[in-house]
Structure 1
Amino acid sequence: MKFGLGLFLAGSASLMLVGCDKAPSRNSASASQDHLARIKSSGELKVGLEGDWQPFSFHNEKDQLVGYDVEVAQNLAKKLGVKAKIVEGPWDGLFAGMDTGRYDLVINGVDVTPDRAKTYDFSTPYAYDRTVLITRSDNNDIHSFNDLKGKTTANSIGSTYQEIGEKYGAKVSGVDTLAETLQMVKNRQVQATINASTSYGDYMKHRPDEPLKIAATMDKVTEYAIPMKKGEDNASLKKAIDNALQEMKNDGTLSKLSVKYFGADLTKPN
């Protein structure tokens, strides 16, 4: 009996091992999918954005997260057949969050720069803007970006605007939000700030008496696009995002959202 039981147990163990070898691995199955397939399997598109950069993303009087980028993200997710899961975070952590997989995409008015293009692939542009230099209304020393040399500015840490200030020789104080930078200019803590024309325009629309002005505007148009990590894993995702954006342009969705949040159609180069 012991001998027979031993054979039975050994045989059962062998069968169990064979069964385990044939069972599909969830990890290996997931690893065989590209990024777009994993997004569709999960049923959600994780999007990182700031949440405090009006009119791109901000909280309204009911504390609801709204804005141009918020609705662009929601529409893109719908086009992909999934739901948008929007996660707010500081600007200087958005790209790191995408690199580690916390976000699938960053949709945050990201402008395409040569340095970023070395690391990330970008979608086709979905909005166009201008970069402006903002000072107090009574400032008579700054009339161009070249006048920033030796001056002080305030901008979001790690932003293109911080880089521009440093490029022109300014000492840049890093802060978190547009409102903070403009408050610092208003209070003479710094002499200028650099930001998007759309954001400044929206800020002044709600605070028309603020002692601020645009001292200079860059000639080059800013292209806003959606970055994603380079590589074959994102090839089909980039194609799907580009196709969805084109559909949103063709059916007028992007234009309507632009007028809603910017007060003008900024979906074409101006």
Structure 2
Amino acid sequence: MLLKNKVAVAGALVALLGLSACANPGEAATPGSDIETTTEVALVQEIADMLPAEIAKRGTLQIGATSTNMPAQFTDEAGELVGVAIELYDAAATVLGLKAEFDVVTFDALQPGVDSGRYDLATMGDNIDRQKLFDIISIYKNGFAVLANNTFEKDDVDYLTGLCGHSVAGTKGTLVDRTMTAASEECVANGEEAIDFHTYVDNAGVALAVKSEQDEVGVLEIIVALAYADRDSDNLRVAGLVQNTTSGPAIKKGNDELRDAFHAALQHLVEIGFYEELMSKYGIKDMMIPEMPINNAK
């Protein structure tokens, strides 16, 4: 279901993230990095017994991750990989009696990594195309936002229809990559200028391209765009957002035992209060989906 909640979501997230403004995003305080969770997480044998035998024997959960997608998964000032997804998956691994091992790569390596079996799972946005290859467990609401330089004249821009004739930055291999290509074709079909779209290997590259005015705007996940805009408010702002999707761990189709075991572990973390504590810690409690549906996109 499409849900537009621009002012409320933007205001709530910017306030809750509490990020200090800084010209260099890498130097600012990171949301939640100095807060410890207090809910105790332990092995639940009944859930661990749901695992495929080969993973239980291996003793590890292989997870693909990125390091610039705050507050879901990012590197903090101490060089540690942290964030909602990272800490939630680590806790779920504990419930399953496993050790979570994270491999940090660029986003475009995540989907082929899970598809090839290199990773047991990785965080992805849920959409119909991805559901052909993966089962995706939704752990938080998401969507897309237009990150603009403060010199950009437009406000409240619809990323699907309002960027004809503009230079736009996006992260390589993401849904944004495909969406902007389709949007540009629609611009031309309607007699407008095509979108001048450029891709970068990570979200930090998109933010830098917009800040340096190499591109007029960038299209990023809502939580990511708001974080970068708040960290560098002298140069960046959010010029429109649409909450229309969900995100979470993607597991290759056919791995039903792993999917069900991991889903049960996540649901246990909801029941004991760890999930809500973690989402609150990173300032995105309003984006919670405690039901954690599988393949939510329709």
Shorter-chain TM-score bucket reads 0.7 to 0.9
- What are the superposed Cα offsets for residues 206-239 of structure 1, whole Å, 9 maximum, x if unpaired? 3332x2222222252x2112211112xx111111
Partner of 1:154, secondary structure, is strand
Q: Which amino acid aligns with 1:212?
A: L
CA contact (8 A) 2:230 2:237 kept: no
Give, in whole Å, the separation in 1 of the partners of 2:287 and 2:74. Answer: 19
Equivalent positions of 1:57-68 (< 5 A) are 57-68=73-84
CA contact (8 A) 2:142 2:243 kept: no
Give, in whole Å, the separation in 2 of the partners of 1:179 and 1:90. Answer: 11
Distance 1:238 1:202, change over 3 A: same
1:261 aligns with 2:282: yes
CA contact (8 A) 1:165 1:171 kept: no
User: Number of residues paired by the alignment?
Assistant: 229
Q: Quick check: which has more Rg, 1 or 2?
A: 1
- What are the superposed Cα offsets for residues 183-207 of structure 1, whole Å, 9 maximum, x if unpaired? 2112221121111221122223333
Match of residue 28 from structure 1: none
CA contact (8 A) 1:256 1:265 kept: no
Equivalent positions of 1:62-77 (< 5 A) are 62-77=78-93
Q: CA RMSD in A?
A: 2.0
Give, in whole Å, the separation in 1 of the partners of 2:165 and 2:131. Answer: 30
Give, in whole Å, the separation in 1 of the partners of 2:77 and 2:243. Answer: 35
Q: Which amino acid aligns with 1:201?
A: L
CA contact (8 A) 2:115 2:133 kept: no
Give, in whole Å, the separation in 2 of the partners of 1:246 and 1:167. Answer: 37
Q: Which amino acid aligns with 2:275?
A: L
Match of residue 147 from structure 2: 134
CA contact (8 A) 1:46 1:105 kept: yes
- What are the superposed Cα offsets for residues 57-107 of structure 1, whole Å, 9 maximum, x if unpaired? 22222211111111011011111111111111111111211222221111x
Match of residue 149 from structure 1: 164
TM-score by length of 1: 0.78
Whose RCO is larger (CA < 8 A, sep 6+)? 2
Partner of 1:78, secondary structure, is helix
Match of residue 205 from structure 1: 230
Give, in whole Å, the separation in 1 of the partners of 2:178 and 2:229. Answer: 24
CA contact (8 A) 2:84 2:279 kept: yes
Offset, 1:263:
4.6
Give, in whole Å, the separation in 1 of the partners of 2:283 and 2:183. Answer: 28
1:46 aligns with 2:62: yes
Give, in whole Å, the separation in 1 of the partners of 2:220 and 2:252. Answer: 25
Residue identity (%): 25
CA contact (8 A) 1:133 1:214 kept: yes
1:177 aligns with 2:192: no
